[in-house]
Amino acid sequence: VATMRANGAYAALVSGGFTAFTEAVAAKLGFDENRANVLEIEADLLAGRVMEPILGRDAKLAALNDLIKTKGLDRADTLAVGDGANDLAMLGGAGLGVAYRAKPAVAEAAHVRIDHGDLSALLYLQGYTSDEIVSG
What is the mean pLDDT of the segment spanning 67-95?
A: 98
Q: What confidence score (pLDDT) does residue 46 get? A: 87
Residue 91 has pLDDT above 90, yes or no: yes
What distance in Å separates the CA atoms of residue 108 and residue 53, rounded to the nearest whole number?
Answer: 28
Q: Which CATH architecture has domain 2-129?
A: 3-Layer(aba) Sandwich (3.40)
Task: Determine contact, residues 122/81, Cβ cutoff 8 Å.
Answer: yes
Q: Write down the pLDDT at residue 136.
A: 66
Q: Reduce the DSSP state of residue 45 to 3 states and report it.
A: strand
pLDDT digits (tens, 9 = 90+) for 15-38: 999 999 999 999 999 999 999 999
Over the chain, what is the mean pLDDT? Answer: 96
Q: What is the pLDDT of residue 53?
A: 86
